[in-house]
Amino acid sequence: MILKIYSNKTNEVLFEKLITQELLTTYDIDINSDDFTELFETEILSDLLEENNIQSSLTHYELN
């Protein structure tokens, strides 16, 4: 899966990252879980936003 984080203002990609099974395993997140979206957002996405100094209120994301 590829995560893309976009600016709400310009809609340009601010950050892109390949989300691997290894990363999901590190966070103990199962892609088939009913809670996947919530866990992804609260664990992985929030960490990536923080590590890259990106304000979540100014962005949106896409996961394909």
30-45, pLDDT tens digit by residue? 999 999 999 999 999 9
Predicted confidence at residue 5, as pLDDT, reads 98
Residues near 56 by Cβ (< 8 Å), separated by ≥ 6? Answer: 45, 46, 49
Residue 2 structure tokens: 């590829």
Percent helix, strand, coil in the chain, to 5, is 40, 25, 35
Rg of the chain in Å (alpha carbons): 12
Predicted confidence at residue 44, as pLDDT, reads 98
| The overall pTM is greater than 0.75 | yes
pLDDT in tens, the chain (64 residues): 999 999 999 999 999 999 999 999 999 999 999 999 999 999 999 999 999 999 999 999 999 9
Spatial separation of the C-alpha atoms in residues 35 and 22, rounded to whole Å: 18
